[in-house]
Structure 1
Amino acid sequence: MAKGSRQAAWEFFGAELKRRREDAGFTQVELGMRVFVSGGYIGQFEQAIRKPQLDVAQRIDEALQTDGIFERMWRKLIKDQTYTEYFAHAAELEQLATEICEYAPAVIPGLLQTREYARAMFLAGNPLATDEYIEELIKGRMDRARVLTDAARPVYWAVLHETVLRIPVGGAAVMAHQLDHIAAMMRERTVLVQVLPFSQGAHPAMGKMMWVMEFEDAPPTVYTEGVFSGSLLDEPTLVKRIRASYDHIRAAALSPEAALTMIESAAEDYRQCASSP
């Protein structure tokens, strides 16, 4: 399903939700109470600004007694989209966020990746895939990255563990270009990047990727990812604990200025390695 067609389908989902809600005599707030989200969320679902998670679609069916129609529409739309099911909703929220704070323990974050780095990562995870499939994955990642060049781009603040700089994904030339790309974005003040050096030793959430998103009119949400799995967390107490862990990591990391020096130095090391006979 093309991007425009998929958006039109979500708009139909929202229009149908509005019609069925009004037929049932519920306000947005009243329906929200029954499915454990805010009335504002219901309004965003109806306008196709935000997409519900599966469990919310199922509760909407229960509240409106719609015999599973919203669950079936949700499953069809998720099945036809670019991203894996566990990441799809996070990708949608990413485009709505006003601030994104990310900790990367081992891999360059997707929003900062070059095409060559992304290709090396996708090939490593899909060694028998066709070129067409790999290109489709790369395109999805590059499309996501455009959020950082939009006029209304979110504040983006990443902390990279030094491990990220030292793993030669794709080889020395690819890494040199990748780190140059990050350095350029830092110098252009498009992103804020820090590096957590090896010398800091153990730290909170060691080895665990975390991604905190803030929104203008909705509570913050955390995304974490494991092997072929991911979780969106919005329970306030848990989000607060994860945000505190991120703040501790950020406090222990090098300043952006020192991080830029380390990143540029690592890029130069890779460049020299790539040019060596």
Structure 2
Amino acid sequence: MTDSTISTETVSNEPEPSDSLKAFGEAHKAFRKRAGHTQEDYAPLIGYQPSTVASIEQGRRFPQRRFVERAEEILDAFGVLKGVYKHATREKGLASWFRQWAELEELAISLYTFENRLVPGLLQTEGYARTLFRERIPVISDSEIEARVVARMERQFLLTERPNTIFSFIVEEHVLRRQTGGAEAMREQIEHILEATEPRNVEIQVMPMSRGVHAGHAGPIQLLETPENEWFAYCEAQESGRFVTDPKAISLLHMRYAKLRSQALNPEDSRSLLERMRGAL
């Protein structure tokens, strides 16, 4: 891949500001109350869980465009919510270079992830995520750790609220054998992966350590497909992320991911291995 095929945002070590999301949340709450709705009775009308409505109103979750459009219609908001939404920035806790990918991730109909460094964010427990943030260099404050843990946990709504999206995860076995946070924390992490990948649309494959060479040695891969059947890719490195739009580059990553799928254990054998690993901890 060359620089001409990849658009890269400058990394920022600071969490994104959340003032604009709080402003959107307050405006939304005011219109909801004006319409006489509680979060509980409003949620099914807009097609989201009450917890999602609460998170958006608290400024902790970036609202999807269809949420905003639906809210305008239900609450008769005079275009105010759409206006505030135009100035909304990604929630506190997500790095700026991840923002573009995260927005597409919420709309994806297919999402493929290969990881050879750590458990993918969508599958991490709170304890695992907290350990990673506590040990990062440079050291960040306790408040920043909390913000980033919250942001990471909030993203996991994708696995429960998008049952028609296909999620494929391929993870190196050594990642799962590393006792990040200790044996008990890792047992909890493996249990969480087994539970999160029970739905038919969520699949986990383990790349065994016995596989000496495979197609993923160049690093992690993330691919997603939009509702318009466009494909994008995201590659993460030290303190940076690359958002890939070039069809040739994406085709190459697709070929690598397809090869990884054939080289990893199948989903059934992967789950059996995870269950044995859990039992050994």
Q: TM-score, normalised by structure 2?
A: 0.68
Tell me the residue number matched to 1:110.
121
Larger of the two Rg values belongs to structure:
1
Tell me the residue number matched to 1:252.
263
Q: Tell me, yes or no, if the aligned pair for 1:78 and 1:85 is still in contact at 8 Å.
A: no
Cα distance in structure 1, aligned partners of 2:197 and 2:146: 27
Question: 1:215: how far off?
Answer: 1.1
- Compared CA separation, residues 80 and 158, structure 1 to 2 (3 A): closer
Tell me the residue number matched to 2:21.
3
Partner letter of residue 166 of structure 1?
R
Question: 1:267: how far off?
Answer: 1.4
Percent of residue pairs identical: 29
The answer to whether residue 236 in structure 2 is matched with residue 225 in structure 1 is: yes
Question: 1:166: how far off?
Answer: 1.4
SS at match of 2:265: coil
- Compared CA separation, residues 147 and 197, structure 1 to 2 (3 A): same
Cα distance in structure 1, aligned partners of 2:222 and 2:90: 24
SS at match of 1:181: helix
- Compared CA separation, residues 5 and 114, structure 1 to 2 (3 A): same
Tell me the residue number matched to 1:192.
203
Q: Tell me, yes or no, if the aligned pair for 1:159 and 1:195 is still in contact at 8 Å.
A: yes
Q: Tell me, yes or no, if the aligned pair for 1:183 and 1:260 is still in contact at 8 Å.
A: yes
SS at match of 1:195: strand
Tell me the residue number matched to 2:183.
172
Cα distance in structure 2, aligned partners of 1:210 and 1:191: 17
Higher helix proportion, which one? 1
- Compared CA separation, residues 163 and 176, structure 1 to 2 (3 A): same
1:24-39 aligned at under 5 Å gives the runs none
1:133 aligned to which of 135, 144, 147: 144
SS at match of 1:199: coil
Cα distance in structure 2, aligned partners of 1:81 and 1:134: 11
Q: Give the unaligned 5+ runs of structure 2.
A: 1-18, 28-63, 67-84
- Compared CA separation, residues 111 and 79, structure 1 to 2 (3 A): closer
Higher relative CO (CA 8 A, sep ≥ 6), structure 1 or 2? 2
Cα distance in structure 2, aligned partners of 1:79 and 1:154: 22
Q: Tell me, yes or no, if the aligned pair for 1:112 and 1:145 is still in contact at 8 Å.
A: yes
Q: Tell me, yes or no, if the aligned pair for 1:209 and 1:224 is still in contact at 8 Å.
A: yes
SS at match of 1:187: coil
Alignment length (residue pairs): 210
Moved over 6 A (4+): none
